[in-house]
Amino acid sequence: MPGFYRKKRRKTGPSKNDEKVQRGREAVAETHAAGTLTSRFPGVRGVKVRIAVTSPQGVVLDENEDVIGPNDAFIIQTDCPGRCGSGSYEFAETVAASLTKLEEHGTAQIACVEPLYGGGPDKCGCIAKCEFEAEFSPS
Ligand SMILES: [Zn+2]
């Protein structure tokens, strides 16, 4: 009778800790790539951002508010809390376009088009709404 033994499954991929370090590095790199609020928009003193994510059924899944100060990186994004498990919403360029036009406030909306986790033909369908209010320096 042939012996049966289970091969020890070696964990592949980065460990939790490595991932954290990696994410930290990415965040730093992103900050550099994005630039600070002042470096991109010298006339803007601060931007208050509110992002709310709702499921396709209209349930609010996530809501957060953030204030970007002059020395903060100009990053406006949030991960999708929906069933895709991988989506993210990126509002920085939309808001940047408004700030360039000296608009003090505005809204943007993005739908998550990531497929649902585990496959299937459906898209995630969560919707993120972003509201922002900018404070311009008096000139
Ligand atoms: Zn999603």
Residue range 24-82, pLDDT digits in tens: 777 667 767 779 999 999 999 999 999 999 999 999 999 999 999 999 999 999 999 99
Give the per-residue pLDDT at 12.
59
CB 128 within 8 Å of CB 89: yes
| Alpha carbon of 62 to ligand 1 centroid (Å) | 12
pTM of the model: 0.74
| Alpha carbon of 124 to ligand 1 centroid (Å) | 5
Tens of pLDDT, residue by residue over 85-106, are: 999 999 999 999 999 999 999 9
| Alpha carbon of 23 to ligand 1 centroid (Å) | 20
User: Which residues contact residue 53 at a Cβ distance below 8 angstroms, ignoring those fewer than 6 apart?
Assistant: 60, 61, 62, 63, 78, 80, 81, 82, 89, 126, 127, 128, 129
